[in-house]
Structure 1
Amino acid sequence: MPYTRVVLLTLLALIAFAGNSLLCRAALAHTQIDAASFTGIRLLSGAVVLWALVVLRGGKRSGGGTWLSALALFVYAAGFSFAYIQLNTGVGALILFGAVQTSMIAYGLWRGERFTLLQWAGLLLACAGLTGLLLPGLSAPPLSGAMLMIAAGVAWAVYSLRGKGAGDPLQVTAGNFIRTVPMALLLSLVLLSRVSVDSSGVYFALLSGALTSGVGYAIWYSALPLIKATTAATVQLSVPLLAALGGVLLLQEPLTLRLLLASLAILGGIALVVLAVKRT
C-alpha cells in the first residue's frame, strides 16, 4: 500500500539521519581517526554512492550542484565532525537541529513571512531551550563544540534553502558531494600533522558516508514527494530524540535533566511554529 511505503521510507530516512550522529560520535570518541579524515572519507564515500545511484537510475553522469552549495555542505560536514569530538550524541543532534530550524525560520521572517502569536511563542521557547542548554554549568556542553555545531547547523540550513528548486534532488546532491571532495582533501593537507586513521574509524566513516548519508538522502528524497512539506518538517523533530536514545543505549552516554528539559523546549517550540503553519 502507498501509505505503508511512505511510512517505511520516512522511518528509514529518520533512522539514517540519527545514525549520522551516532556513527560520527562513535568514531571520534572511541577510535583513533581524526575529524578531518572522518570528514573526507564520509564525503568521498557519499559522493561515490550518490554518483552510482544517479548512474543506475539512468541520469546524467555529470552536472548538477553548484560550488557555493558544495561549500555549505562541506562546512556542515566539517563542523559536524569537529564538534562531535567534544559533544555527546544527543546534545550534538539537538544543537544541530535547533540551529537548522532556527536559521530557516529566521530566513522566512527575513523574506517577509508573518508569524502568529503562537508561532512567536514557539520560536521564543525554542531559543530559550537552546540558551538554557548552553548556559554554564556542570552539565553544559563545551562552548567551542557547541559553536562548531551551530555553525554546522547554519551551513546545513543554507544548503537546504539553496537546494529548493535547484533541479533533480539526487542529481544535485551527487554533484554537490563530488565538489566537496577537493575541499576535504585540502582540509586534510592543512591538518596533515594531526592525521590519525585506524580501521574502525574508517569503517564508521564509510558507513556514515555511503549508508546514512548517501543512501539515507536518497531514501529521504524518495519520501519527500509523497508527504507534505509541513509533515516533513514535523517528523524531523524525532531525529534528536532518536540520536539521544541511540547514544544512551549504544554508546553508554548519560541522559541529563538539562538535555531532557532543553529537548522539550527546543523541539516543542519548533513544533508550535511548524504545526501552526500547517493549521493556517
Structure 2
Amino acid sequence: MPPVLALGALTTAAMIAFAANSILARLALATGSIDDLGYTGWRLASGAVTLVLVMRLLERDRPLLPLAGSWPQAVALFGYAVFFSVAYLWLGAAVGAIVLFGAVQAGMIGRALVAGDRPGLVEIGGLTLAFAALVWLVSPGVAAPPLMGVFVMALSGLCWAAYSLLGRGSTAPVADTAGNFVRCLPAGLALMAWSQWTAAPSAFGIACAIASGAIASGLGYAVWYRVLPRLSRLTAASVQLTVPAIAAAGAVLLLAEPLTLRLVLASAAILAGMAVTVLAGERRRRS
C-alpha cells in the first residue's frame, strides 16, 4: 500500500476507534449489562495490559520501569474515564460525543487564553456559535438531553483536555500513555472488584468494556500517536473533528438512537463553530 494511503487508513482507523468508545459505553451501560464503575475499571485494566504489550512489541529495548508518563496525567486520565462512564448512564452516544469534544476543545482554548493567547475575530465567532448551539441543545424541551449527563460529560472532556495539555511536548507519547494506564491499574482493579461485589456485571458488559479499553482506547491511542508525527497540526486538528460525527452516525445505525432535528442542527453548529475556531487558530499560529 502506498505510504499516503497507509497513513490515511491508519488515521481513519484511529478516529473510528475513538468514536467507538462512545458506542461501546452506551451499548453496555444503557442495557444495564454493567455499572459505570465496573465499566471504568475493566476499561482501564484492559487498556493498561494492551498498551504494555504494544510497548513490548514496538520498543523491546525500553525498560518497563520506571514508568513513563506522570501521576498528574494518570489522575486526569482516571477522571476522564470515570466521568465518561457516569455520563453515559444519561446521555445517548451522539450527544455524549458532541459534548465531550466541545469540552475538550473549550479546555484547550481556555488554557491558551490564560497563557496569553489572543484569538482573532474569526475564532471568537466560532466559539460564540458553538456555545450558543450547546445552550440551545441543552435548553429545556422534549428533545433536550439530561442536564446532569451533559455536566458530567463536560467534566470528562475537561479532564481529557488537562491530560493532553500535561502531555504536550512528549517525545514518547505511546510509552507515556502506557505508563499512565498502568498507574491507573490499581484503581481500576478496585473498581472491578467493587462492581463484581455490588452489581455482578454480565459477560456482555465486560466484553464491551474490554473492547473499549483494549481496542478503542489502547490500540486506538497507539495507532494515533504513531501517525501523529506525520501529520501537520492543522491536519491533526481537522481529522479529530470527524470523531463526533462518526459517533453520531454509529449511534443512529447501531443503537437506533433517534435523530431529532434539534440534535442534527445543534450538533452541526457546535462542530462548525469548533472547526472554525480550531482551524483559524492553527492558521494564525503558523502565520
Relative to the length of structure 1, the TM-score reads 0.96
Mean Cα displacement is larger for which, 190-199 or 168-177? Answer: 190-199
Give the whole-Å Cα distance in 2 for the aligned partners of 1:270 and 1:110.
Answer: 19
Partner of 2:64: 61
Secondary structure of 2:117's aligned partner: coil
Alignment counterpart, residue 210 of structure 1, candidates 188, 195, 214: 214
Q: Structure 2 unaligned runs (5+)?
A: none
Structure 1 residue 84 corresponds to structure 2 residue 88: yes
**Further displaced range: 30-39 or 191-200:** 191-200
Contact 2:131 2:270 in 1 (8 A): yes
CA distance in 2, matches of 1:4, 1:277: 28
Instruction: Write the distance in 1 (CA, Å) between the matches of 2:155 and 2:278.
Output: 22
SS in 2 for 1:255: coil
Distance 2:172 2:228 in 1: 12
Pick aligned residue for 2:243 from 231, 239, 242: 239
**Could you say what secondary structure the match of 1:196 adopts?**
coil
Query: After the TM superposition, which residues 153-164 of structure 1 pair with which residues of structure 2 at under 5 Å, given as runs?
Result: 153-164=157-168
Secondary structure of the 2:151 match is: helix
The offset of 1:191, in angstroms, is 6.6
SS in 1 for 2:69: coil
Contact 1:79 1:152 (C-alpha < 8 Å) held by counterparts: yes
| Deviation (angstroms), 1:146 | 1.0
1:40 aligns with 41
Tell me the equivalent position of 2:22: 21
Task: Report the AA paired with residue 139 of structure 2.
Answer: L
Any idea what SS the aligned residue of 1:11 has?
helix
CA distance in 1, matches of 2:232, 2:278: 12
Q: State whether residues 237 and 279 of structure 2, in contact with CA within 8 Å, keep that contact through their aligned partners in structure 1.
A: no
| Alignment RMSD | 1.5
Instruction: State the distance in 1 between where 2:226 and 2:195 align.
Output: 37
Distance in 2, Cα, partners of 1:56 & 1:24 = 28
Between the aligned residues of both structures, percent identity stands at: 49
- Following the alignment from structure 2 to structure 1, what is the Cα–Cα distance between the partners of residues 24 and 123? 34
CA apart distance, 1:275: 2.0
1:213 alignment partner, SS class:
helix
| 1:59-117 CA distance string (max 9 Å, x none) | 32122011111010011001001110111010000000000011101111111112111
TM-score scaled by length of structure 2: 0.93
Say how many residue pairs are matched.
Answer: 280
User: Which residue among 202, 213, 222 is the counterpart of 2:226?
Assistant: 222
